[in-house]
Amino acid sequence: MTEHSLPSALAYRIVVVDDHPLFREAIVSVVRRAFPGAAIIEAFDLASLHSLDLDDVDLLLLDLNFPGVHGFSGLVHLRAQAPAVAVVVVTALEDAAVVQRAISLGAAGFVPKSSNLIEISKSLEAVLAGRVSVPAWFATFALQPKPLSETENSAARRISSLTPQQFAIAMWLTTGLQAEQIAVELGLDEATVKALIATMMRKLNVQNYAQVAQLVKVLDFEGLTGAEVKLADKIVRSL
């Protein structure tokens, strides 16, 4: 297959999610060159992503650090909301353990932001052809099966159960905002937000805001250690 034979045959719908305007413009430019017939949709934060209809999207390029999400929670949420969409992580985090965890949590590909045009094009073509794609120097390690821990599975499962609105509220709670502040951010009245928080907490099976933050922290990039593991496991055992 030549470099452009695949995209010339099909018109894809591709979403690029990145809050940095210059990098988003750069990755859009790469995608346009690799897939001339593609329709490209841009998003820069959680709210703009939630405003999109992902039903007909073929590929979503996701910056793990975009505003409104924490750690791998955005990836987990997207995989639950749009399971048919192939998600490729595009990030500056060039760590083999991050690559492997992203793939374990459902990413179809991983592209470091340091990649050149040819590397990005080949990776996206591989994913659109139904293959998992990671950088060559991570391939042996990242594609080895690595079961998630019970704690990670539980956190991912519960976060996946949230609606977009509930997920957004959970993310705000992890930043330390209270109901009245979240109401301002979402343009809702405080009573409505408190009711939404109560429903969200029942879904997550947590008792307070601190446990919401702890559950989300299970999916941070660096994982958990020491006392944090014990606390997270305690939440998991409450299921």
Residue 144 clears pLDDT 90, i.e. is over it: no
Q: If DSSP states are collapsed to H, E and C, what string results for 20-47?
A: CHHHHHHHHHHHHHHCCCCEEEEECCHH
Question: What pLDDT, in 10s, does the model give residues 6-51?
Answer: 444 468 999 999 998 888 898 899 899 889 889 999 999 999 999 9
Rounded to two decimals, what is the model's pTM?
Answer: 0.84
Sheet with 109-112: list strands edge to edge: 39-43, 13-17, 59-62, 86-91, 109-112
Q: How far apart are CA 118 and CA 152, in angstroms?
A: 34
Which residue ranges does the chain devote to CATH 1.10.10.10? 150-237
Q: At what angle do helices 209-217 and 190-204 cross, to 10 degrees?
A: 50
Residue 229 clears pLDDT 70, i.e. is over it: no
Q: Among 41, 54, 42, 36, which Cα is nearest to 18's? A: 42
Task: Look at residue 100 in the predicted model and tell me its pLDDT.
Answer: 83
Q: Provide CATH code, domain 150-237.
A: 1.10.10.10
Encoded tokens for 29: 């430019």
CATH topology of domain 5-142: Rossmann fold (3.40.50)
Residue 87 clears pLDDT 60, i.e. is over it: yes
47-51 contact pairs (CB < 8 A, 24+): 47/168, 49/15, 49/17, 49/78, 50/164, 50/168
Q: How far apart are CA 193 and CA 12, in angstroms?
A: 38
* Buried-exposed string 57-79: b where 16+ CB fall within 10 A, e elsewhere: bbbbbbbbbbebbbbbbbbbbbb
Supply the mean pLDDT for the chain.
85
Task: Look at residue 195 in the predicted model and tell me its pLDDT.
Answer: 95
Amino acid present at 150 = E
Task: Look at residue 5 in the predicted model and tell me its pLDDT.
Answer: 44
Task: Look at residue 222 in the predicted model and tell me its pLDDT.
Answer: 66
Residue 63 clears pLDDT 70, i.e. is over it: yes
Task: Look at residue 10 in the predicted model and tell me its pLDDT.
Answer: 62
Residue 200 clears pLDDT 90, i.e. is over it: yes
Q: How far apart are CA 234 and CA 239, in angstroms?
A: 9
Name the DSSP letter for residue 149.
Answer: P
